[in-house]
Amino acid sequence: MTATLAPPAPPGSAAERIARPGLILLLACVAQFMLLVDDTITNVALPTIAADLGFSESSLSWVVNAYLLTFGGFLLIGGRLADRFGPRRMFALALAGFAIASAVCGLAQDDGMLIAARAAQGIMGALLSPAALAILLATYPEGPGRRKALGAWAALMGLGAATGLLAGGILVEIADWRWIFLVNLPVAAAALLAIPRILPAFDASTARPAPNVAGATLATLSLLLLVFTVVETESEGWTSARSLGGFAVAALLAAVFFATERRSASPLIPRELLRRTRAMWADAVVFIAAGGLLAMFFFMTLYLQQVIELSALETGLAFLPFSVTMGIASGIVGRLPERLDARVPISAGLVIGAIGLYLMSRLGVDSSYAGGVLPALVVTAAGLAFAFVPVMGLATGDAEERDGGLASGLMTSAQQIGGAIGIAVMITIATSATTDAAASGTPQAAALVEGFQAAFRVEAAVMLAAALLAVATLRRR
């Protein structure tokens, strides 16, 4: 990426002080890419980790869930801290913390140590991601340059998840599962060395005072409990007393949080951000769409390994066309005319993504990769790229420079929590369909596929719902 992405900056702006915006974009994208890779890199390594560290079947899922739980729960306060102390400072501290947590993951001697270190990774990721996007927003003012930069950022969503599967498969087969975590160390070290050479000291003179501490605590506890309860529905069920109680307490904490926000002189979410209704609706679209996207990776990985019987490495390679298509399509949408109504690419992209997910629901026991899986992956990737670039622009646009961390934190919270809820809901749907099919005498492989098909159909419906919401709410100003 080169500095040609940067448009002329108005005198006195933050962008005017930035000599190498292309390198800053690259640095921010590398950090975010590392976080997204860690969303999925453990999936193909779970059987090996279980055998090496003695995980029980019930506790193994927490290798993934501990990261997802803390990442989603701490994002809101992470964005606020980036605005309070400056995105460069939080970026450096969180990046160093993420590297340390990754090292502990790679050196873990038992299951408890690994789960605790994965939780620490999630916390550091929740501090790092909003800071990285806040740096990008401060570097690129509104206009074509920002849209191209956000195009690169949006491409990372699919690219990072798919690359995590590929990297996990390669490292497990040629080295050791511990390297899926240790590989973060040289990346983080290089980024830390680049920070003083690339990132300017962003002006902190307009930083807000310390946010509402009580509100920050309540918001974080509410999000943590919500994600934890959703994750646990896989074993507890959605209507159990424990699940219903968890949702009720999370809602109560959220209500008390909003009550404290109204009385606070320095609210965690500034009132001017809440008045940006298009941005709030864009976050809602991201929330819904992410539920379908992350669940797709989960079930497609299982389909490729358990039905088509690909190896861990072959499964990772199978997602390469998705990554390539996402990158190309994101570059194209970043060059669309600025006057184009954002609802057009967003709604069209989500509909195309829904078509791709519907094609996945048609995959059977005898389907081939080239004739069935590949077209579905390519169509889905193209659609999501066209939708996510402009919706991210709406979610983060118009925020003051000093609120960039929080605006990006809100959007990333919507993405992570939407993905967590989507995966939990789809697992329940798939398990129910598989159980019913097996009870009726359907062979095991066919019953498993029926569960996957049911999940993909619901994911397609979710994408269509997101498209309708976009058309109804994301009107031109």
In tens, the pLDDT along 355-410 reads 999 999 999 998 999 989 999 999 999 998 888 878 877 877 655 555 566 677 77
Q: Quick one: pLDDT band at residue 315, thresholds 50, 70, 90?
A: confident
pLDDT of residue 402: 55
pLDDT of residue 185: 94
Q: Which residue has the higher pLDDT, 232 or 183?
A: 183
Q: Which residue has the higher pLDDT, 236 or 363?
A: 363
Domain co-membership, 401 together with 427: yes
Q: Does a structural domain hold residue 391?
A: yes
Q: Which residue has the higher pLDDT, 419 or 472?
A: 472
Region 84-100 average pLDDT? 91
pLDDT of residue 146: 73
pLDDT of residue 467: 93
pLDDT exceeds cutoff 70 at 46: yes
- Classify each residue of 210-237 as buried b or exposed e, where b means 16 or more C-beta atoms within 10 Å of its C-beta: ebbeebbebbbbbbbbbbbbbbbbbeee
Q: Taking the complete model, does pTM exceed 0.75, yes or no? A: yes
Domain co-membership, 232 together with 178: no
pLDDT exceeds cutoff 80 at 151: no
Q: Does a structural domain hold residue 1?
A: no
Q: Which residue is associated with the tokens 């949408």?
A: 333
Out of 3-12, 41-50, 240-249, pick the least confident.
3-12
CATH number where 357 lies: 1.20.1250.20
Domain co-membership, 115 together with 233: no
Contact between 152 and 27 (Cβ < 8 Å): no
Domain co-membership, 261 together with 297: no
Region 102-124 average pLDDT? 93
Out of 51-65, 152-166, 448-462, pick the least confident.
152-166
Q: End of a domain among 267, 288, 309? A: 267
Q: Does a structural domain hold residue 6?
A: no
- Of the candidates 304, 1, 308, which has an alpha carbon nearest to the alpha carbon of residue 150? 1
pLDDT of residue 296: 87
pLDDT of residue 247: 92
Contact between 48 and 77 (Cβ < 8 Å): no
For residue 228, give its domain range. 212-267
Please state the three-class secondary structure of 173-241 as a single string.
HHCCCCHHHHCHHHHHHHHHHHHHHHCCCCCCCCCCCCCCHHHHHHHHHHHHHHHHHHHHHHHHCCCCH
Q: Does a structural domain hold residue 258?
A: yes
pLDDT of residue 205: 44
Domain co-membership, 170 together with 143: yes
Distance CA 233, CA 429 (A): 12
pLDDT of residue 1: 36
pLDDT of residue 18: 52
pLDDT exceeds cutoff 70 at 130: yes
> Radius of gyration over alpha carbons of the chain, in Å?
21
Domain co-membership, 42 together with 187: yes
pLDDT tens profile 332-362: 876 776 667 778 889 999 999 999 999 999 9
- Of the candidates 27, 67, 42, 62, which has an alpha carbon nearest to the alpha carbon of residue 167? 42
309: three-class secondary structure by DSSP: coil
Q: Does a structural domain hold residue 385?
A: yes
pLDDT of residue 6: 40
pLDDT of residue 19: 53
Q: In total, how many domains does the chain have?
A: 2
Q: Does a structural domain hold residue 400?
A: yes
pLDDT of residue 100: 96
Domain co-membership, 53 together with 162: yes
Say what angle helices 111-139 and 21-40 make with each other, to 10 degrees.
Answer: 150
Q: Which residue has the higher pLDDT, 207 or 42?
A: 42
Phi and psi, residue 472, nearest 5°: -75, -30
Out of 11-15, 128-132, 448-452, pick the least confident.
11-15
Contacts of 203 (CB under 8 A, 6+ apart): 14
pLDDT tens profile 23-43: 888 888 888 888 878 877 787
Q: Which residue is associated with the tokens 């501090």?
A: 127
Domain co-membership, 383 together with 304: yes
Q: Quick one: pLDDT band at residue 12, thresholds 50, 70, 90?
A: very low
Q: Does a structural domain hold residue 22?
A: yes
Domain co-membership, 336 together with 406: yes
- Of the candidates 61, 141, 133, 67, which has an alpha carbon nearest to the alpha carbon of residue 105? 67
Out of 137-151, 287-301, 444-458, pick the least confident.
137-151
Most distant pair of Cα atoms in the chain: their distance: 72
Contact between 451 and 371 (Cβ < 8 Å): no
pLDDT of residue 249: 94
**Mean pLDDT, the chain, integer:** 81
Domain co-membership, 260 together with 276: no
Amino acid identity for residue 280 in this structure = M
Region 143-164 average pLDDT? 70
Domain co-membership, 381 together with 457: yes
Q: Does a structural domain hold residue 292?
A: yes
pLDDT exceeds cutoff 80 at 57: no
Domain co-membership, 89 together with 217: no
Q: How many CA atoms lie within 13 A of 302 on its CB side?
A: 19
Q: Which residue is associated with the tokens 């055998």?
A: 51
